Amino acid sequence: DGASIPVRVYYPDESKHGPGPYPVHLNFHGGGFVLGNLSTESTLCLSMCEGAGVVVVDVDYRLCPETIWGICFQDAWAALKWVQAEAGTLNVKADSISLGGVSAGGHISVLLQHMARDAGIPLKLIMATVPPSTDALFYKYYTDSPFPSFHEFYRGPVLAFQRIKWFGELSAPVEKREELKKMWPKWWFSPLKAPNLSDLCPALIRTAECDPLRDEGEAYALKLVAGGNKVTIKRYIGVPHTFMYMDFMNQKQQYDLDSIEALKEAHGIK
């Protein structure tokens, strides 16, 4: 639609990782489609960049309620196409692209996994962390979810059900939901209902034990497995939804190491 989407590009230390061109990883921050900016996950981006020796492109996709729900996916897709088209200028490898994100960013990554397959764009990996895979933003009651973790942690830390409802009211207000459902494919709201789960790129799906979204994230991962895809599933024990932002937690340190190792393996970096 002609909008300009800001990005921040992180380059690895040339003295450690050579002059390039480098593999490239696109990052989409979390925030319930409502919150977040290029500072939200800057430390995660730096860690992946320096640890794995990849260029990281952090994408400042448009948020709700300033724009309607769904525009973020178009912004993310435009960023992926831009990176591919401008690979020479960016000093990155157009044939060595991965992407990932936390929470809403994980949802974006999942959708782009399908869109890239359909467009014939090969991806090395998606890393979707604590991703929503149902239309929980539309739930009236926490009991609307079929998943035990949603019931167990509806009053849990960081992402209680009232916070999920708040995100839903801002990103997909009740009075606009029918209109939104007509604008976008139905499975965009609930990736578990994607019509084709085969021939997708490798995926690392990570969940948090004390998170209402735990079970639905793992359910999506298992559907990928059933579709014949290469999938790694990891649950971090004893941590809430946003643990990867909490420097004082040992599991956050392990999370960073896992990201680095996954990127190195996917891009063939020794």
DSSP state of 198: S
Task: List the beta bridge partners of residue 204.
Answer: 127, 232
Angstrom distance (rounded) from CA 269 to CA 264: 5
Residue 83's pLDDT is 99
First-to-last CA distance in the chain?
41
Residue 148, C-beta contacts closer than 8 angstroms, at least 6 positions apart: 215
pTM for this one? 0.97
Domains of the chain by residue range:
7-267
Residue 2's pLDDT is 79
Structure tokens at 234: 């990891």
Q: For residues 157, 241, 160 and 216, what is the CA-based torsion angle, rounded to 10 degrees?
A: -140
Residue 149's pLDDT is 99
Specify the CATH number of the domain 7-267.
3.40.50.1820
Edge-to-edge, what's the strand order for the sheet holding 55-59? Answer: 7-10, 55-59, 22-28, 92-102, 125-129, 203-210, 231-240
Which residues in the chain come in under a pLDDT of 50?
Answer: none
DSSP state of 248: T
Residue 140, C-beta contacts closer than 8 angstroms, at least 6 positions apart: none
Which residues are the active-site residues? Answer: 103, 211, 241
Angstrom distance (rounded) from CA 220 to CA 106: 12
Residue 190's pLDDT is 97
Residue 152's pLDDT is 98
